[in-house]
Amino acid sequence: LSLSGLEHHSGFKITPKLALKAVEACLYGDLFMRVVYRTRPYEVNPGETNALHKKWEYKLCKELSDNSFGIHRFKKNMKKIVKEFDAIPVKDIKKPRVGIVGEILVKFSPTANNNLVELLESEGAEAVMPDLVDFFLYGFRNATFKVEKLGFDKSIIRMNNLGIKAIEWMRGSAKKALIESKHFTPTADIWEMSKMAEDVVS
């Protein structure tokens, strides 16, 4: 599978429905990382966070496997996930927050990073993982640099900006729920992040 068109024999056809479900799956995964990693180190009742995660994982795998697609259902699920994890009783303590960065496979795969999140939590820390979707937003945002510095066609800016708007619209309900929650922080804005980075990167 190659988004740049280098691979023409991927073995399956990417339909609009499949692409939308793939984006849904990524956004669900990002939200789970955000709420699970923030809640589990502080839970009053050990195992409660994982149990709720498993419940939602089973439900969403069934929904993503069927032939239907509904953005209303997706947005409703995102809000309910935040609400239910926010309701888990947690201890009023603070632990060191450790950000996990690096190559994309090693960062997100527990097998590749030797279960780093579990290790950090067992050592008394809270793991912080950036969203997988932010990797794609970075790629979309980078279109402006390609046009201004590398001579790419200006049309790619419009196309990539539409990609950013589409993803932000899809995760908008979750972002609103995270802002209104008691324990979670909302997703970052790619435009704000790129602005903040201007003084240190080109």
The domain spans of the chain are 16-191
Asked if the model's pLDDT at residue 8 lies above 90, the reply is no
Whether this model's pTM surpasses 0.85 = yes
Helix 143-150 to helix 132-141 angle, to the nearest 10 degrees? 30
Residue pair 125/42 in contact by the 8 Å Cβ criterion = no
User: What's the angle, vertex CA 197, arms to CA 196 and CA 199, rounded to 5?
Assistant: 95
> Residue 36 CB: number of other CB atoms within 10 A?
20
Structure tokens at 154: 């200006």
pLDDT digits (tens, 9 = 90+) for 99-114: 999 999 999 999 999 9
- Going 172 to 173 to 179 to 184, the CA torsion angle's sign is negative
pLDDT digits (tens, 9 = 90+) for 13-62: 778 888 889 999 999 999 999 999 999 999 999 999 999 999 999 999 99
Percent of the chain having pLDDT more than 70? 94
**Looking at residue 201, what is its pLDDT?**
75
Query: Distance (Å, rounded) from C-alpha 200 to C-alpha 52?
Result: 41
